[in-house]
Amino acid sequence: MRLKIISLFFSLFLLPSCLFAQSVSDCPLQIVDLIDLALANNPETRLTWWNAKRAAAALDSARSAYSPIIGINAHLTNGRDFRFVNGPDVDYTITGVDLTLNLLLYDFGERDAQVQVAKNALVAANWQTDWVLQKVLVDVFENAYTVLNLQETLQAARISSDDAVKMLETAVELNRAGLTPVTDVHTSRAQVSQAQMEVVQHQSHLEIQYAKLASSLGLMADTPLKLATISDLPTPPAICLSKLIDLALKQRADLMAKHARVKEARAQHLKTQLSYRPKISVSARGGANRAVKDKANAAQYQVKLNLDIPLYDGFNHVYQNRMAFADLRTSIEELAQLELNIAFEVLSYSKNLQAAQAMLPLAESNLNSAKQAYEGVLETYGSGKIDIAVVSNALRQLAAARMRYSDVRTKLLVAAANLAFSTGTLLPYVETSCEKSF
């Protein structure tokens, strides 16, 4: 799955975002379409990709320490030798070209430790790439589910507004017949105004959420979007909490990245310990010189075996070693804290999902009961047997039941996505459950 997502990202990475911006409003977007847009346009995906490329280049740079350094040195020298006793003074101008070679033979493992530092940094960058992709996807899920929730909320507000208008019409007819006082008309008219204001408010919230969704996709906030509705809710399998936590501790990409960071810090600490050891190297130099004035030529070569033994550097190596050890301990403690946070996240999202699953049938039953209650109360009011306050209260209960049912559905979707995200299984979740849900 990871390779599938990465290959999809690369296939979309080369396409200009304007092509997506032109097509997003043509038809309702399903979850796979939103993923395509997010992976192709969201700057975070490109940022983490270039961070991984940089880490790969850093590893190659560390390995280059095993290679010899070969270069060409050209020089032009002009000078005068002063001979006070034997005179005369000598002026000279010499040109020369030298071929140089330097090769580190042995350094007691410092190069090996540096390579291990770079390797673990690359591993961490790769895991971090996976984690950023999952973060982008879960943001898309949450924003998309919120948009759908606000669409349902807006529709519920409009239905409630229509119901309030019907109630006003009934109150006007009863007042004209002399069965109810005019205060019922005023009460109903106030109810209509309140319902219409809620429609305007929900419309504003929906437009803002559409802009937030567009931003999470890497598009401009004013990009028009249409979302496909959800036909079926996902039904995640029931897994005990301990198994979910174990799964998260094995698969969470950010946790794997932190493990790699600990190994990187450990290798860096070893490198600082070995950096003050002796170093053995070989250097070679060969070239030719030519004197400009007397046209004399000369050639030379040198081969040296070098032993570099550091004696005193102001105790800098001691302080560097202490800093590296502190970084290692910091990474270890951050890893421990992350494991605690992950366990808490899994527990929280698991309980949220269980609560939403339990609340959904109750919210549906509440909505059906509120509909029947309102219809019955409105019919009774039409016969002049009850007060307008009873109808207003039933209308408010029906509007609240519609809102609650939509909220519970959205909480179920968001909790399922967040639980998959917190356990590090969001990508398989996208491939199986979510594609069937839209």
Position 45 in a domain: yes
Position 307 in a domain: no
Res 87: pLDDT:
66
9 with 45: CB under 8 angstroms?
Answer: yes
Residue among 362, 352, 338 at smallest CA distance from 420:
352
Residue 14 has pLDDT above 50, yes or no: no
Instruction: Residue 17: give the domain boundaries.
Output: 2-69+107-278+313-437
**Helices then strands, each counted (H, E), the chain:** 12, 4
Residue 198 has pLDDT above 60, yes or no: yes
Domain count, the chain: 1
Starting at the edge strand found earlier in the chain, the sheet holding 297-308 runs 69-81, 90-106, 279-291, 297-308
28 with 62: CB under 8 angstroms?
Answer: no
**CA dihedral (167, 169, 172, 174) positive or negative:** negative
- Whole-number Cα distances in Å, 6 to 53, 180, 203, 430, 436: 14, 69, 37, 14, 22
Write out pLDDT tens, residues 33-86.
888 888 888 899 889 999 999 999 999 999 999 999 999 999 888 887 777 766
137 with 35: CB under 8 angstroms?
Answer: yes
436: confidence class by pLDDT, cuts 50, 70, 90: very low
| Residue % of the chain over a pLDDT of 70 | 88
Residue 106 has pLDDT above 70, yes or no: yes
Name 355's Cβ contacts closer than 8 Å, sequence gap at least 6.
411, 415
What's the CA gap between 51 and 132, in Å, rounded?
Answer: 11
Write out pLDDT tens, residues 387-431.
788 888 888 888 889 889 989 988 888 888 899 899 988 754 343
Tokens of 38: 């997010």
DSSP conformational letter for 65? G
226: confidence class by pLDDT, cuts 50, 70, 90: confident
Residue 265 has pLDDT above 90, yes or no: yes
Tokens of 53: 């490329």
Q: Please, what is the end-to-end C-alpha distance for the chain in angstroms?
A: 20
The CATH number for 204's domain is 1.20.1600.10
φ, ψ of residue 261 to 5 degrees: the values are -65, -35
Position 48 in a domain: yes
Res 336: pLDDT:
96
Position 290 in a domain: no
Q: How many residues are given for the chain?
A: 438
Residue 24 has pLDDT above 80, yes or no: no
434: confidence class by pLDDT, cuts 50, 70, 90: very low
Write out pLDDT tens, residues 124-169.
999 999 999 999 989 998 999 999 888 888 988 898 888 888 888 8
Which one has a higher pLDDT value, 368 or 91? 368
Residue 93 has pLDDT above 60, yes or no: yes
Predicted TM-score (pTM) above 0.75: yes
Question: What would the mean pLDDT of 166-175 be, rounded to a whole number?
Answer: 84
Position 152 in a domain: yes
Res 184: pLDDT:
83
Res 68: pLDDT:
93
Question: What would the mean pLDDT of 343-367 be, rounded to a whole number?
Answer: 92
Position 356 in a domain: yes
Range from 238-242, 314-318, 346-350 carrying the lowest mean pLDDT: 238-242
Res 435: pLDDT:
35
- Whole-number Cα distances in Å, 375 to 192, 230, 245: 17, 28, 48
Position 401 in a domain: yes
- Counting other chains too, the contacts that 386-393 makes at CB distance below 8 Å and 24 or more residues apart are 388/171, 388/180, 388/183, 388/184, 388/187, 388/188, 389/187, 391/167, 392/167, 392/187, 392/188, 392/191
Residue among 39, 24, 33, 151 at smallest CA distance from 438:
33
Instruction: Give the chain's mean pLDDT.
Output: 84
What's the CA gap between 70 and 68, in Å, rounded?
Answer: 6
Residue among 74, 92, 70 at smallest CA distance from 288:
74
Residue 12 has pLDDT above 60, yes or no: no
Write out pLDDT tens, residues 322-336.
999 999 999 999 999
Tokens of 197: 């204001």
Which residues are bridge partners to 78 per DSSP? Answer: 93
Position 99 in a domain: no
